[in-house]
Homo-oligomer: A and B are copies of this chain.
Amino acid sequence: MYSGTNVDKYSFRNDYSESAHPKIIEKLLSLAYETNTPYGEDKHSEAAANIIRDLCGKPDATIAFIGGGTATNVLAISAFLRNTYDAVICADTGHINVHETGSIEYAGRKAITIPVDVDGKLTPELIDPVFKGFESEHMVVPKLVYISQSTELGTIYSKAEISALSEYCHANGMKLFVDGARLASALMSRYNDVTLKDLGALCDGFYLGGTKNGLLFGEALVLTDAESADHLRWLIKQRGFMLAKGFVVGAMFEEALSSGLYFEMAKYANESAERIVEAIKQAGFDLYAPFQTNQIFVLVPEELGRELSDTYGCFIQARLPDGRWAVRIVTSCASTEAAITDISEWFIKKVCAGIVKNYIGK
């Protein structure tokens, strides 16, 4: 269920409601009369790609700047699953299964879904019995495991968890891909021990999200598996994902990464969320999923869930059997000081008013 869309003052609906960080836009202004090679073969894209190659310790990685997250997922999965009978394994809560309108199936591939816990994470133990069931030509061939970092529930995989998945996948002829729509927030999480170099070493592909981290739009796909990257530009063009002015995305990533702004924006979003979580804890509300990045899932009584949704545009993630609602609060680099203070005080006030006494201490 989606939230109300007309928020008067402060929105915590998501991290893609404002255009972009001013420094990013100013960079584009500087290119108004600078001639660039089209279709992503320009100097800005190359510079940004090289920074990413350095950061993830993969000098030969293939990098492509793509317009959005669903497009990047479709592209990556097309690159990994070359045969029509190849299939991808994902969590049943995975974005590609739930919220991309069957784009994987439109691309002719089966997504094999595995039920996961509230932390939204896949493990070798969950995958293995499912994987072993695909044993004949009457069934598809699992070739890829897809996870998100951070997950749809805002949690993050530890290095040990990703290492275990990587080892399992490679031992079983599968590749590992990480949807990084919110990778910046994951990398800057105080709970995180996974570096870009780890991702470079452990995964066959991942992407650094830009849309949800202060860019106008755009994601940086990183393929470390050379075979999967074969003829990637053909795949991009054929799916309608190649931007004539590809240098626009390249230049935004160049600006964000070379200046460190990419990481500062994510750090700010995480710290803003943490301030709100502190208010939530102080007010005595429980969380639906562990807090780790820039997404908070707070459990509140139904009437407060409605109010949060109406006031701050928040999305309702789930309704619990005990009547409580899990409401999502998302911060970004555009979350203002005033907004953070406002929603923090909202939680404190509810408790002071005695509205939620029944839930305190649960």
Contacts and interface: CB of A to CB of B under 8 A. Distances in A.
Given A106-B108, A109-B105, A19 B137 contact: no
7 contacts: A17-B36, A74-B240, A84-B102, A103-B237, A108-B108, A217-B248, A239-B239
A5 interface: yes
A7 interface: yes
A138 interface: yes
Interface in A229-252: 231, 233-245, 247-248, 251
Contacts of A2: 136
A264 interface: no
Contact of A242 (B5, B70, B243): B70
Nearest to A99: B138
A211 B109 CA distance: 28
B83 A101 contact: no
A303 interface: no
Interface stretch (A25-33, A48-56, A157-165, A285-293): A25-33
A226 interface: no
A69 interface: yes
B16 A238 contact: no
A14 interface: yes
Contacts of A36: 17-19
Given A13-B35, A18-B31, 16 more contacts: A2-B136, A11-B35, A17-B36, A18-B32, A22-B32, A29-B29, A67-B68, A71-B241, A84-B235, A85-B101, A85-B231, A105-B110, A106-B108, A138-B237, A217-B244, A239-B240
Interface residues of A, number: 89
Contact of A18 (B7, B33, B137, B237): B33
Contacts of A21: 32
Contact of A84 (B70, B78, B336): B78
A127 interface: no
Contacts of A235: 84-85
A352 interface: no
Given A19-B245, A241-B240, A243-B217, A106 B82 contact: no
A105 B103 contact: no
Interface string A201-217: 00000000001100011
Nearest to A139: B101
Nearest to A5: B37
A237 B138 CA distance: 6
B106 A244 contact: no
Interface in A53-109: 67-71, 73-75, 78, 82-85, 87, 98-109
